[in-house]
Chains A and B, each alone.
Chain A
Amino acid sequence: MKEIYIGVDVGSVSTNVVAIDRNVNVLFKTYIRTNGQPIDSVKEGVKQLKEALGDVEVLGVGATGSGRQLAGAILGADVVKNEITAHATATIHFVPDVRTIFEIGGQDSKIIIIKDQMVVDFAMNTVCAAGTGSFLDHQAERLKIPIEQFGDLALSATRPVRIAGRCTVFAESDMIAKQQFGFSKAEIIRGLCDALVRNYLNNVGRGKNLEPPFVFQGGVAANKGIRAAFERELQSKIIVPEHFNVMGAIGSAILAKDYIEKTKTRTNFRGFDATDIDFSTSSFECKGCSNRCEVVKVSMEGKVIAMWGDRCGKWTNSL
């Protein structure tokens, strides 16, 4: 019987589920589009894991990403951690001497600065999603290019085209203007990759000293055009790890493994049957005081199993 640790990363665009063994070998990974259905996508991911690995013993479960509370409640996670810590944990494991991590996902882009295998600084986009996966998706859609071919097309361009990177709305109108000048799709896409990388380094990396080795991960790291733009901009090689699009999930699995090994506790994992159970979430505004907290309620077959979001603990502790 294989012993595994499961890591789940529920983001805005994708839900990733991985299984690792004691030595952090990745035994299984899956990348599923969340499509606004985090519960279903978590179930789907765990189902696929079960089918791929057959009989396994789950020793621990970690959850991360913006949907970490929800995923944690459904699966019975042992560790629920933010994605910055999770990503850094995985990268440090695979690239021990890493100094700078670029992580670009569906709606978030982050820069994590590492020194001596320790997170010393990080930044995350605040009000602007320029350069994230969602924007690239949208542009690929508009130009009728499958997103998978986006990168290769960018690499085929011979001339650079200057596209405004400050804001995606401006970038888009710039792209249209350049089309009307007669530039090819490939050139415009290359220009867009350059603009997005420029904006990302200026906006998210403001005032930070970026030192190599650079590691680039997250869903957007699949895009060769963006990779090439990074290398041009930084004048340096960029490492894209083998499991670049599921690093958050791997990190949370590692954290779960550390925790279980250290505390020698048994996992809270609900078991693979959880994928057949009916979960539902709802939220309500608590009127107990003027805080008016938005309380999230997760029910399993009609019974409330987790609540969060209340500042006073009234609901959280009521279970």
Chain B
Amino acid sequence: MKVSFPYMGSAIVYKKLFEFLEHEVVMPPKPTQRTMDLGVKYSPEFACIPLKMVMGTYLEAIEKGAKVLVTSGGHGPCRAGFYGDTHRNILKSLGYDDVELIIFDAPQDNWRAFFRNVQKIRNGVPWHKVINRMYTLYRFVQKLDELEKMVQKIRPYEVNKGQTTQVWNQIHEKFDKVKTRKQLYEVYEECKQMLLSIPTRKVDEKDRIRVGIVGEIYVVMESSINFGIEEILGNLGVEVERSLYLFEWINDNLVPWILRPKRFKEIIKKGQRYIKILIGGHAVETVGHIIDFKERGFDGIVHLMPFACLPELVTQSLIPKISKEIDIPILSLPIDEQTGKANMLTRIEAFIDLLKNRKRGKTREIFIDNIQEDVQEERVVMV
């Protein structure tokens, strides 16, 4: 079976999953303008941008020969629940009758359907091998996320602009070749050394700015749709951490409730201070993470939401109240198919200025240590 999947964040993880199950994998291309054009053209106008982007990705994967598309469903009252069926209908209307769409909904919603899907993608690989390889994959995701968190803490202080991102791309290539757990740990150590050897500037603890990125999973995880916000912030000298990482997502969603890490339950509990009922999407988690970031001493929050996303609109309307009550600045950015970066950059830059001022207690202070970011906002080298 030629298998493909939506592209979101470190997509090599999904590729590994299907490689371990001995499928022929069609790697979907990272979303570009063309992906968006295709998605927008064939999706309903009122749908949110993740649905359109995933649609575009499916069409590009089918062009590359994919016959089976595997994705996760949504649950709760948000539109993500109908993504799967909408995509299926669109594919049918375009005449791709031979393409199968396998949608994994939360196991507890329908155990029988879940296992039917598992059997489909298990591809006849013996169970003991499946379990062993899935454990390897679990560790694979964990190690990759650990490295990514390092990247996000090193990038703001790199001496040679752009180096961290280059190393991160190399790490992806190295991880792509991993086949066994032994290899994984070796590659992990090697990559860690690569990151640690990047020359960085020493910045005083009191001048470090930390920003948490929260919001709907697709726009938070996929850099092609969010303007590469992690890099933008990193280049402005800001450490970032997302509310979502694949490893945590797996722990939170695929591990049975009883065994789930305590942290996830705590985040949900924090979120329920403001949103008491389940409204789908990631609204409760978003609010929970905002509070969690504040408690962990972060300076500000960037909240990403697909334009007209129901759960995140609820979050957005709560933001002034939350921001005031727990005293942390929050910048909400709606994301749709716009390409102009100027407006977005102005907002982000002004927001970072605001965070720095809060820390230093002055608007006009130019800071010698951070002079690079303080006086030149986007990287421009002038001769």
Cβ of A313 under 8 Å from chain B? yes
Cβ of B258 under 8 Å from chain A? no
Cβ of A81 under 8 Å from chain B? yes
**Among candidates B165, B228, B363, residue contacting A117 with C-beta atoms closer than 8 Å:** B363
Q: Are B162 and A312 in contact (CB under 8 A)?
A: yes
Which A residues are CB-close (under 8 A) to B366?
Answer: 79, 255, 258-259, 262-263
Say whether, besides A80-B380, A290-B32, A305-B382, A124 and B347 are in contact (CB < 8 Å). yes
Which A residues are CB-close (under 8 A) to B381?
Answer: 306-307, 316-317, 319
Contact with A along B343-355 (1 / 0, CB 8 A): 1011101110110
Q: Are B363 and A89 in contact (CB under 8 A)?
A: yes
Contact with A along B332-343 (1 / 0, CB 8 A): 001000000011
Say whether, besides A124-B346, A258-B364, A263-B371, A290 and B30 are in contact (CB < 8 Å). yes
Q: Which residues, 274 to 313 on A, are CB-close (under 8 Å) to B?
A: 290-292, 303-309, 311-313
How many Å from the CB of B131 to the closest CB on chain A?
A: 35
Cβ of A187 under 8 Å from chain B? no
How many Å from the CB of B227 to the closest CB on chain A?
A: 9
How many Å from the CB of B329 to the closest CB on chain A?
A: 7
Q: Are A207 and B380 in contact (CB under 8 A)?
A: no
10 A-B contact pairs sorted by A residue (CB < 8 Å): A81-B375, A82-B350, A92-B364, A118-B358, A208-B320, A259-B375, A290-B30, A307-B381, A309-B378, A312-B166
Cβ of B170 under 8 Å from chain A? no
Say whether, besides A89-B364, A208-B320, A259-B375, A72 and B380 are in contact (CB < 8 Å). yes
**Among candidates B33, B346, B358, B380, residue contacting A306 with C-beta atoms closer than 8 Å:** B380
Which B residues are CB-close (under 8 A) to A80?
Answer: 375-378, 380
Q: A72-B382, A268-B382 are in contact. List 12 more A-B contacts (CB 8 A).
A: A81-B353, A85-B353, A118-B363, A119-B350, A121-B329, A207-B320, A290-B32, A291-B32, A291-B228, A306-B381, A306-B383, A317-B161
Which B residues are CB-close (under 8 A) to A45?
Answer: none
**Among candidates A82, A262, A311, residue contacting B346 with C-beta atoms closer than 8 Å:** A82
Say whether, besides A126-B334, A307-B381, A316-B161, A120 and B368 are in contact (CB < 8 Å). no
Residues of chain B at interface, number, CB under 8 A? 45
Cβ of A266 under 8 Å from chain B? no
Closest residue to A84 on the B side, CB-wise? B350
Q: Please, how many angstroms separate the alpha-carbon atoms of A306 and B320 in the complex?
A: 40
Contact with B along A69-104 (1 / 0, CB 8 A): 100110010111111110011001000000000000
Which A residues are CB-close (under 8 A) to B351?
Answer: 122
Cβ of B379 under 8 Å from chain A? yes
Interface residues, chain B, CB within 8 Å of chain A? 29-30, 32-33, 160-162, 165-166, 224, 228, 231, 320, 329, 334, 342-343, 345-347, 349-351, 353-354, 357-358, 361-366, 368, 371, 374-383
How many Å from the CB of A256 to the closest CB on chain B?
A: 9
Q: Are B350 and A85 in contact (CB under 8 A)?
A: yes
Q: Are A81 and B30 in contact (CB under 8 A)?
A: no
Q: Please, how many angstroms separate the alpha-carbon atoms of A316 and B382 in the complex?
A: 9
Cβ of A254 under 8 Å from chain B? yes
How many Å from the CB of B193 to the closest CB on chain A?
A: 22
Q: Please, how many angstroms separate the alpha-carbon atoms of A314 and B375 in the complex?
A: 21
Interface residues, chain A, CB within 8 Å of chain B? 66, 68-69, 72-73, 76, 78-85, 88-89, 92, 108, 117-122, 124, 126-127, 207-208, 254-255, 258-259, 262-263, 268, 290-292, 303-309, 311-314, 316-317, 319
Which B residues are CB-close (under 8 A) to A314?
Answer: 162
Q: Are A119 and B29 in contact (CB under 8 A)?
A: no
Say whether, besides A119-B357, A259-B366, A316-B380, A84 and B346 are in contact (CB < 8 Å). yes
Which B residues are CB-close (under 8 A) to A79?
Answer: 366, 375-376
Q: Are A81 and B377 in contact (CB under 8 A)?
A: yes
How many Å from the CB of B381 to the closest CB on chain A?
A: 5
Which A residues are CB-close (under 8 A) to B368?
Answer: 262-263
Q: Are B379 and A313 in contact (CB under 8 A)?
A: yes
Q: Are A119 and B354 in contact (CB under 8 A)?
A: yes
Q: Please, how many angstroms separate the alpha-carbon atoms of A317 and B361 in the complex?
A: 34
Which B residues are CB-close (under 8 A) to A117?
Answer: 362-363
Which A residues are CB-close (under 8 A) to B350?
Answer: 82, 84-85, 119, 122
Q: Are A312 and B165 in contact (CB under 8 A)?
A: yes
Q: Please, how many angstroms separate the alpha-carbon atoms of A234 and B374 in the complex?
A: 36
Which A residues are CB-close (under 8 A) to B29?
Answer: 290
Say whether, besides A89-B364, A119-B357, A122-B350, A313 and B380 are in contact (CB < 8 Å). no
Which B residues are CB-close (under 8 A) to A83?
Answer: 346
Which A residues are CB-close (under 8 A) to B374?
Answer: 259
Q: Please, how many angstroms separate the alpha-carbon atoms of A208 and B29 in the complex?
A: 42
How many Å from the CB of A98 to the closest CB on chain B?
A: 11
Closest residue to B351 on the A side, CB-wise? A122
Q: Please, how many angstroms separate the alpha-carbon atoms of A285 and B55 in the complex?
A: 24
Which B residues are CB-close (under 8 A) to A82?
Answer: 345-346, 349-350, 353, 377
Which A residues are CB-close (under 8 A) to B361?
Answer: 118
Closest residue to A79 on the B side, CB-wise? B375
Which B residues are CB-close (under 8 A) to A308?
Answer: 378-380
How many Å from the CB of B114 to the closest CB on chain A?
A: 33
Q: Please, how many angstroms separate the alpha-carbon atoms of A82 and B166 in the complex?
A: 28
Say whether, besides A84-B346, A119-B353, A124-B343, A255 and B377 are in contact (CB < 8 Å). no
Which B residues are CB-close (under 8 A) to A313?
Answer: 161-162, 165, 379
Q: Are B380 and A66 in contact (CB under 8 A)?
A: no
Which A residues are CB-close (under 8 A) to B32?
Answer: 290-292
